[in-house]
Amino acid sequence: MSFYNNIFKFFNLLIVILTLTSCEALKYKKVDANEFPPDPKERIKKNMEEGRGFRLLSSNNNNNTTYSFASSNPLWRATLDTIDFMPLASANYSGGIVITDWYSENATPQEAIKISIRFLTNEIRSDALDINVFYKECLPDLYNCKVSKKNDQLESQLTLSILKKASQYEKDRIEKNKKDNPFTISTPTKKSDKKK
């Protein structure tokens, strides 16, 4: 048995040696320092132009991508910032829904509102959000409450405010990305833009 083990070890060692000696990437290559600029940003730019570099975070956008962190979604951040004065009953990023608890001003405890916001897409556009506002009106003794859903100005004001904040967050992200990495600009593309 030991004879076969020794032969097996010998062939394994031989294969490893042949593999390592034939590996071109491990061989030392002489390089002239004049070929590479001393500034790191210039070296990065040169490598990227020659196709020798790579990016850990690709700028290719896939419209089917779901964000791994809620803070990277400008619509989500803008929504939470817009309704931050209201207590939240539920905020589920993976489900794409935010529901507030009943909220009323101190002067009018008989009236309260509740807001439900569903995210239909991650893109910043007017049909990205489905906002429902519910009103609760109670008698002065705070019993016999009536809940109704009304489509009024508050929905359009919330939508406009959220979209403005989200577009500002996206603009800030693009500007920050330009400063951090001036060689690539990652801007969201739509499917219609890809076909053109």
pLDDT in tens, the chain (196 residues): 688 888 888 888 888 877 766 666 556 667 676 777 777 777 777 766 665 555 544 444 444 544 445 567 889 999 999 998 888 898 888 888 999 999 888 778 788 889 999 998 888 888 889 999 999 888 877 778 888 887 778 888 999 999 999 999 988 888 887 777 766 555 555 555 555 4
Furthest CA-CA distance within the chain: 97
φ and ψ of 73, to 5 deg: -100, 110
CA-to-CA distance for 12 and 14, rounded, in angstroms?
5
3-class secondary-structure state, position 149: strand
Do residues 137 and 50 lie in contact, with contact meaning Cβ atoms separated by under 8 Å?
no
H helix or E strand, kind and range, residue 116: strand 111-119
Closest CA to 73 of 87, 94, 52, 89: 94
Q: Identify the pLDDT of residue 21.
A: 64
What's the chain's Rg over C-alpha atoms? 29
Q: Identify the pLDDT of residue 41.
A: 75
Q: Identify the pLDDT of residue 184.
A: 57
CA-to-CA distance for 183 and 51, rounded, in angstroms?
13
H helix or E strand, kind and range, residue 90: strand 88-92
Q: Identify the pLDDT of residue 7.
A: 87
Q: Identify the pLDDT of residue 158.
A: 92
Q: Identify the pLDDT of residue 16.
A: 81
Q: Identify the pLDDT of residue 66.
A: 47
For the chain, give percent helix, strand, coil, nearest 5: 40, 15, 40
